[in-house]
Amino acid sequence: MSIDKKFLKLFIKVTEKAAIGASKFIGKKDKIAADKGAVDPMRKELNKINMEGTVVIGEGEMDKAPMLYIGEKLGTLNGPKFDIAVDPLEGTKFTANGEPNAFSVLAISERGGLLSAPDTYMEKIVIGSNLPNNLMDIDNGVEKNIRLLADAKSKNISDINVCVLKRARHHEIIRELTSLNVKINYITDGDIAGALSVIGDKPKNDIYYSTGGGPEGVIVAAALSCFGGQIQGRLVLDNEEKLRAKKLGITDFNRKYNIDDMVKGDVIFCATGVTSGDLASGVKDLGNEYEVNTFALHKSENTIKSVQNIYNK
């Protein structure tokens, strides 16, 4: 089964409307208002679509308005059954501060196609396409993974670019990377953009190596399943989070997830820029209109494209 191609346009419109909503708060130092600016139009657009959609990746596991929460039903409730993974505004801080790489993103699969990951941390390694299958393994350790990647890419280790989320918890990873003399590109936020910086013809990075959000890991896996590339992730769970994970059907708390474990079947992925970044240009306010740019993928249609649209105010 595959998702009818007519839905791609509809889901592009969802992230575009969310991005426009968030763009009104660029540089205004209010993360909560920016998030709400994206969530409200996103929910409104999703509810216009003839589908029975269920949020499996959202901003929380309970109804805390204005969030799109795990378990929320969306659409007209007539039509195909879809799983929805959503981050209405990836980069709330970037938006509030007027910094690059904020965007609105969602991934859609048929019912049961996306891992319902709890809102916890996930260890992640992400690499691009055209590399041997299962090249990376979290349990290899940093040095072995970097050496394997350098060999597979026929590069010197010192020419490998590694993207790392700048957090105290990555002290050991950074120490090992530094001793290997690789090039480290730090990001302050924006787990999805960091992970997807390894894809494309001339990727900015060879590998993303960080512990970030579990939900974001599944969204990245959805994009990679369309575009090519590899991810391995493992959830980081304390005792309370293990109870929440159990409710979502997760029983093996040490399991390592590859793309095929996180994403099954057909997928649509859309990311619309709020501020300009690696995936898409930001919203442009043209006076009476908004210009928006979206990076869109549809697996079964082999669609990989950048879309530009104009909306009247």
For 226-237, what is each residue's pLDDT tens digit? 999 999 999 999
DSSP H or E segment with residue 269: strand 267-273
pLDDT at 245: 87
Q: Contacts by 169-178 with C-beta closer than 8 Å and gap 24+?
A: 169/211, 170/210, 170/211, 173/142, 173/209, 173/210, 176/141, 176/142, 176/143, 177/142, 177/146, 177/209
Span 280-301, average pLDDT: 97
Question: Residue 119 has which token pair?
Answer: 């809102």
pLDDT at 63: 43
Tell me phi and psi for residue 35, to 5 degrees.
-60, -45
pLDDT at 116: 83
pLDDT digits (tens, 9 = 90+) for 192-221: 999 999 998 899 999 999 999 998 999 999
Domain 6-114+266-312 has CATH 3.30.540.10: yes
pLDDT at 201: 86
Span 79-96, average pLDDT: 95
Over 90: is that where the pLDDT of 248 sits? no
pLDDT at 313: 92
**Among 58-72, 133-147, 235-249, 278-292, the least confident range:** 58-72
The confidence band for 240, taking pLDDT boundaries of 50, 70 and 90, is confident
Pinpoint the residues of the chain covered by CATH 3.30.540.10.
6-114+266-312
Give the mean pLDDT of the chain. Answer: 94
Pinpoint the residues of the chain covered by CATH 3.40.190.90.
121-262
Over 80: is that where the pLDDT of 118 sits? no
Contact yes or no for 231/124 (Cβ under 8 A): yes
pLDDT digits (tens, 9 = 90+) for 31-87: 999 999 999 999 999 999 999 999 998 876 544 546 888 889 999 999 999 999 999
Span 253-271, average pLDDT: 97
> Over 218-230, what HEC string results?
HHHHHHHHHHCCE
**Topology adopted by domain 121-262:** D-Maltodextrin-Binding Protein; domain 2 (3.40.190)
Contact yes or no for 89/95 (Cβ under 8 A): yes
pLDDT digits (tens, 9 = 90+) for 143-163: 999 999 999 999 999 999 999
* pTM for this predicted structure: 0.95
DSSP result, 146-168: HHHHHHHTT--GGG-EEEEE--G
Tell me phi and psi for residue 293, to 5 degrees.
-130, 130
Contact yes or no for 203/279 (Cβ under 8 A): no
pLDDT at 10: 98
Over 50: is that where the pLDDT of 17 sits? yes
